């Protein structure tokens, strides 16, 4: 068993549940033991860093401090989310590079009874651990249902192979790691030229047109290479390409139906696990047709009733004005 500390990040429990479920499902077979960091907090995504420096790095470093405390052996921290991984790795790297930053961050941590020595933990992305620690041979040995004939676009997104402080990846722009893993699962891997291009990041929120353009480019390219399915290693990429695919279609008048699943879901299928335990059916663009190519029936994305709102939750934003309200306003203004 290889033991690691897990930093799941906020999206794993909600928008990227399929990633979490499938990660848990494949951990046993490949011998990966993950212990979640107790009471971790959000890494700040790409937002906090733009607000102010020391608080942003203190926010990230609380997680590192908690991990170091919990780390009795010599275990690395594993982050499955690309943005979380990059933030944790970056905080550690910059505190080593600029000791004043480390001093300031530690002054802040000390107020909460914590401290962190930069460099005391290794920070790794899940894909890196699976390929370089667990190894392709082990992964291959677990395959009972090879993904023969499934054409997969290996989509890494930008943050995992870049900026690569510890020089872990074969290349910044065309790394081969994910391709090799998918080949080990028996899949037919397309040479996806945009494998490290950007999915639009937070632009879906602040400049949707910019994001739609990037999303469209990725899907067009995957389609042009006749991919049946795209696979990602990042909750943000999955969310943008899957959940916003319909919005992009509306925007461009297109009709893309490219399923986007996490690479751990494909691993689970190849390992012969039940698709229900791998988070299939949670995608908005159904993966059923693609997966039927390898003779696997995945659940149809289901619409179930949303859970009722609890009274203890945040006050919701006011509802949109109705047409009648607006007409009233126009009248009043006259």
Partner 1 sequence: MEIAPESQAPPSPIPKLIEDLTLLDEVSNRTAGVSRLEMCIQCGTCGGSCPSAADMDHTPRMLFAMIRAGMRKDALMSNTPWICVSCYHCVVRCPQNVHIADVMYTLKGMAIEAKLYRDSTAPDFSQTFVDMVEEYGRSFEFGLATRHYLKHFPLRLPSMAPMGFGMLTRQRMSMTPRRIKGIDQLKTILKKAKEVEAVHE
SS3 at position 167 = coil
Neighbours of 226 (CB within 10 A): 10
According to CB under 8 A, which one of 6, 25, 49, 184 is a site residue for partner 1? 49
Tell whether residue 320 is a contact of partner 1 (CB under 8 A).
yes
Tell whether residue 37 is a contact of partner 1 (CB under 8 A).
no
Q: How far apart are CA 225 and CA 217, in angstroms?
A: 12
Residues between 52 and 91 that touch partner 1 (CB under 8 A): 52-55, 57-59, 62, 90
Tell whether residue 205 is a contact of partner 1 (CB under 8 A).
yes
Q: What are phi and psi of 143, to 5 degrees?
A: -75, 120
Closest to partner 1 by CB, 169 vs 271, is: 169
According to CB under 8 A, which one of 80, 154, 175, 201 is a site residue for partner 1? 201
Minimum distance, C-beta of residue 233 to partner 1, in the bound complex (Å): 15
Tell whether residue 322 is a contact of partner 1 (CB under 8 A).
no
The closest alpha carbon to 95, from 114, 66, 72, 121, belongs to 121
Closest to partner 1 by CB, 178 vs 203, is: 203
Tell whether residue 163 is a contact of partner 1 (CB under 8 A).
yes
Residues between 96 and 135 that touch partner 1 (CB under 8 A): 97-98, 100-101, 104-105, 107-114
Q: How far apart are CA 213 and CA 200, in angstroms?
A: 8
Residues between 268 and 307 that touch partner 1 (CB under 8 A): 281-282, 284, 301-307
Minimum distance, C-beta of residue 281 to partner 1, in the bound complex (Å): 8
Q: How far apart are CA 286 and CA 10, in angstroms?
A: 24
Euclidean distance between the first and the last CA atom of the chain, given in angstroms as a whole number: 74
Q: How far apart are CA 19 and CA 247, in angstroms?
A: 23
CA quadruple 291, 13, 243, 311: dihedral sign: positive
CA quadruple 42, 48, 243, 230: dihedral sign: negative
Residues between 206 and 245 that touch partner 1 (CB under 8 A): 206-208, 210, 214, 243-244
According to CB under 8 A, which one of 140, 162, 183, 293 is a site residue for partner 1? 162
Tell whether residue 197 is a contact of partner 1 (CB under 8 A).
yes
SS3 at position 300 = coil
Closest to partner 1 by CB, 59 vs 227, is: 59
């Amino acid at each position: 068993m290889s033991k690691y500390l897990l930093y799941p990040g906020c999206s794993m429990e909600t928008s990227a549940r399929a990633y979490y479920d499938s990660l848990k499902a494949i951990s046993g077979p490949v011998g990966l033991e993950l212990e979640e960091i107790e009471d971790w907090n959000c890494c700040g995504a790409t937002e906090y860093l733009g607000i102010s420096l020391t608080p942003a790095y203190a926010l990230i470093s609380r997680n590192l401090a908690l991990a170091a405390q919990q780390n009795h052996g010599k275990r690395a921290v594993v982050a499955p989310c690309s943005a979380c991984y990059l933030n944790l790795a970056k905080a550690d790297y910059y505190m080593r590079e600029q000791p004043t930053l480390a001093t300031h961050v530690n002054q802040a941590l000390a107020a909460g009874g914590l401290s962190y020595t930069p460099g005391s933990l290794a920070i790794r992305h899940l894909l890196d651990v699976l390929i370089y620690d667990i190894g392709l041979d082990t992964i291959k040995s677990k395959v009972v249902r090879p993904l023969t004939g499934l054409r997969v676009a290996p989509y890494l997104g930008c943050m995992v192979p870049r900026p690569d402080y510890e020089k872990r990846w074969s290349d910044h722009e065309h790394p081969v790691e994910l391709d090799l893993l998918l080949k080990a699962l028996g899949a037919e891997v397309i040479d996806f030229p945009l494998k490290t291009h950007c999915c639009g990041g937070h632009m879906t929120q602040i400049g949707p047109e910019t994001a739609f353009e990037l999303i469209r480019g990725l899907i067009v390219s995957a389609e042009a290479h006749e991919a049946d399915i795209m696979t990602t290693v990042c909750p943000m990429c999955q969310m943008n390409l899957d959940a916003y695919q319909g919005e992009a279609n509306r925007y461009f008048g297109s009709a893309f139906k490219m399923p986007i699943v996490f690479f751990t879901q494909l691993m689970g299928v190849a390992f012969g696990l039940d698709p229900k335990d791998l988070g299939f059916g949670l995608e908005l663009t159904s993966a059923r047709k693609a997966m039927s190519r390898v003779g696997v029936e995945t659940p149809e994305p289901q619409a179930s009733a949303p859970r009722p709102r609890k009274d203890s939750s945040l006050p919701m934003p006011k509802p949109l004005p109705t047409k009648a309200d607006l007409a009233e306003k126009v009248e009043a203004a006259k």
